[in-house]
Amino acid sequence: MDKELLEAIREELSPIKQDVAQIHQDISRMDQKMTRMDQDISRIDQNMAQMDQDISRIDQNMARMDQDISRMDQDITRIKIILEHDIPKQLSLLAEGQSIILERLPKPGKAEEIEDRVDVLETVVTMHSADIADLKKAL
């Protein structure tokens, strides 16, 4: 009877063993899936860390750009001030200097008159030089 009882228990345990084996297979598959999920999460964490570094670099670049833009704004403001204040003064001084020079220049008709007078003087000097030379020869 003990053998029969043991055989009956074995027959009863056989499906349970199969169920336990199936559960072990399921757990093994779940462990594999969990391992893959852990690997995926690890890759996602690495990607997130890389993204954080990239965003940090972008933030630094943006901060530098903001500083550059601020300096450019200051430069533009200085240029505007120079254009509004210094340049007109310098142009005014230049115009004054030009008008003084123009006042000193002889008028177009006056230049021709001076040229004519110089021509006459040259002719007279040439004639006087010839007369002086003749007088020197005569003496």
Residue 126 lies in domain = 107-139
**112 and 139 within one domain:** yes
What is the DSSP secondary-structure string of 11-78?
Answer: HHHHHHHHHHHHHHHHHHHHHHHHHHHHHHHHHHHHHHHHHHHHHHHHHHHHHHHHHHHHHHHHHHHH
Q: Which of 34-48, 98-112, 116-130 is predicted least confidently?
A: 98-112
**130 and 74 within one domain:** no
- What pTM does this model have? 0.47
**7 and 49 within one domain:** yes
Share of the chain above pLDDT 70, in %: 99
**63 and 129 within one domain:** no
The end-to-end CA distance of the chain, in Å, is: 186
Whether the predicted pLDDT of 134 surpasses 80: yes
Counted domains in the chain: 2
**27 and 56 within one domain:** yes
